[in-house]
Amino acid sequence: MIFVGFGFLMTFLQRYGYSSVGFNFLLAAFGIQWALLMQGWFHSYKEGYIRLGVENLINADFCVGSVCVAFGAVLGKVSPVQLLIMTLFQVTLFSVNEFILLSLLEVKDAGGSMTIHTFGAYFGLTVTWILYRPSLHQSKERQSSVYHSDLFAMIGTLFLWMYWPSFNSAVSKHGDAQHRAAINTYCSLAACVLTSVALSSALHKKGKLDMVHIQNATLAGGVAVGTAAEMMLMPYGSLIVGFICGIVSTLGFVYLTPFLESQLRIQDTCGIHNLHGLPGIIGAIVGAVTASCASAKVYGIKGLANFFGFDGFKTSWDSSMQGKFQAAGLFVSLAIALVGGIIVGVILKLPFWGQPADENCFEDSVYWEMPEELKSTVLHPEDSTLKPAEP
């Protein structure tokens, strides 16, 4: 299941055409191989061999998901070479972060609210902050969508939406925890759609809906139950989380993204801060709170010990201790994302990676052989709006 889900995290971004899909494909293929190696070294290295199973492939997919999130922030402003370098570093940092969280701090993060979304989003945002382009407005007219490209993006949204429950439950323990994860995610997503649509309409002065909100904010609910999905969040808890996330994410698109761009010089192409950053933090907090509140009454004594793995050196833990470690996991993720993002951003700022000029951002023809006919007049509408302005 998870293979398709991530396949369409890629097409979801295809508003900018060939490059979005093609580069995403490229970095995913590269990232998966590198992630297999990295995660193999950290988790399944044994007697000189890396033992490889389907679970490793799923984990590598998750890792690449984090890269795709960060790709959303720098989309259209970097060259393929820069992307590969970013992937190389990010996969490494992801593996380190995942190792610290899951193996050292022993936090629960089945759906990756912390490891994938929060880490990926703030890493990407830091990189794009370092790579700030003051004259990006020269490419501004190519940054908007057109009628058909929004429909393509909508295919991606629907796909992610449908696969999110499988995604959040993929690495859960089989049985009850897996079912819980799927059902909680489902409820949260459904609630999130309603608040996103309602708020999108309420914030528009004529009550119209904005396609960007529908494409993105509707998914925030899935991000936000990532950590807590396999816990006893209960359906009503998921509905509340989805409800809140729909509001936060839509508000983010309307007010926060323009603010980030104008005041903090963070140019967030796809608005990943609203889809992955904020809901990821919410998800981590929800996870910490849910873990803290876990009681033997709801899980059963054995169930609790079994679920959180209170054995070995964790024998003396209780749920509130687990909750504190969950919170620590969030801060570790954020710290690694920020520090790593600054380092990688500085490396990518070096002038010999073939990055496009400010006026060529969001432009496929810099990197792609384009179909000949009509390219610049009708069928490549981003161009057509540019060309008349040139002469």
Q: Which of 85, 100, 158, 285 is in the footprint of a copy of itself by CB under 8 A?
A: 158
The residue among 75 and 266 lying less far from a copy of itself, judged by its C-beta, is 75
Integer-rounded Cα Rg, in Å, for the chain is 21
| Nearest CA among 103, 92, 32 for reference residue 62 | 32
Cα distances from 96 to residues 23, 122, 164, 276, 283, in angstroms, run 25, 16, 25, 20, 21
Q: Which of 44, 138, 292, 384 is in the footprint of a copy of itself by CB under 8 A?
A: 384
Q: List all residues 6 or more positions away from 308 whose beta carbon is below 8 Å from its beta carbon.
A: 108, 291, 294, 314, 317, 319, 322
Residues 9-68 that bind a copy of itself (CB under 8 A): 10-11, 14, 17-18, 21-22, 25-26, 29-30, 32-33, 36, 52-54, 57
Asked if 141 interacts with a copy of itself (CB under 8 A), we say yes
Q: Which of 300, 346, 385, 387 is in the footprint of a copy of itself by CB under 8 A?
A: 385
**Residue 356: how many CA atoms within 13 Å on its side-chain side?**
24
Can you tell me whether residue 144 is helix, strand or coil? coil
What binding mask, one character per residue, do residues 101-140 give for a copy of itself by CB under 8 A, x or -? ----------------------------------------
Q: Which of 46, 48, 147, 174 is in the footprint of a copy of itself by CB under 8 A?
A: 147
Q: Which of 103, 135, 144, 320 is in the footprint of a copy of itself by CB under 8 A?
A: 144
Local structure of residue 372 (DSSP, 8 states): S
Instruction: Determine the interface stretch with a copy of itself among 152-160, 248-256, 298-306, 316-324 (rule: CB under 8 A).
Output: 152-160
Q: How many residues lie near a copy of itself (CB under 8 A)?
A: 78
Question: Residue 249: left if φ>0, alpha if ψ -120 to 50, beta else—which one?
Answer: alpha
Residues 185-214 that bind a copy of itself (CB under 8 A): 186-187, 189-191, 193-194, 197, 201, 204, 208-211, 214
Count of other CB atoms within 10 angstroms of residue 357: 12
Instruction: Determine the interface stretch with a copy of itself among 131-139, 254-262, 343-351, 378-386 (rule: CB under 8 A).
Output: 378-386
The residue among 85 and 305 lying less far from a copy of itself, judged by its C-beta, is 85
Joined together, the tokens standing for residue 116 give 């994938």
Q: Which of 44, 138, 143, 145 is in the footprint of a copy of itself by CB under 8 A?
A: 145
Asked if 168 interacts with a copy of itself (CB under 8 A), we say no
Asked if 390 interacts with a copy of itself (CB under 8 A), we say no
Asked if 222 interacts with a copy of itself (CB under 8 A), we say no
CB of 216 to a copy of itself, least distance (A): 13
Q: List all residues 6 or more positions away from 104 whose beta carbon is below 8 Å from its beta carbon.
A: none
Q: Which of 45, 259, 331, 368 is in the footprint of a copy of itself by CB under 8 A?
A: 368
Residues 82-101 that bind a copy of itself (CB under 8 A): none
Positive or negative, the CA dihedral 261, 266, 270, 276 is negative
The residue among 154 and 328 lying less far from a copy of itself, judged by its C-beta, is 154
Joined together, the tokens standing for residue 60 give 């590598």
Cα distances from 199 to residues 68, 178, 204, 225, in angstroms, run 27, 32, 9, 20
The residue among 232 and 281 lying less far from a copy of itself, judged by its C-beta, is 232
Give me the helix-helix angle, 119-130 and 319-349, nearest 10°: 30
The CA-CA-CA angle for residues 299, 244, 276, to 5°, reads 90
CB of 145 to a copy of itself, least distance (A): 5
Q: Which of 218, 257, 322, 355 is in the footprint of a copy of itself by CB under 8 A?
A: 218
CB of 120 to a copy of itself, least distance (A): 20
How far out from the chain centre does Cα 221 lie?
Answer: 12
Residues 228-267 that bind a copy of itself (CB under 8 A): 235, 239
Asked if 161 interacts with a copy of itself (CB under 8 A), we say yes
Residue with tokens 């629907």: 158
φ, ψ dihedrals at 173, nearest 5°: -60, 140
Instruction: Determine the interface stretch with a copy of itself among 114-122, 176-184, 303-311, 316-324 (rule: CB under 8 A).
Output: 176-184
Q: List all residues 6 or more positions away from 96 whose beta carbon is below 8 Å from its beta carbon.
A: 42, 336
CB-based burial label for 83 (10 Å; 0-12, 13-18, 19+): buried
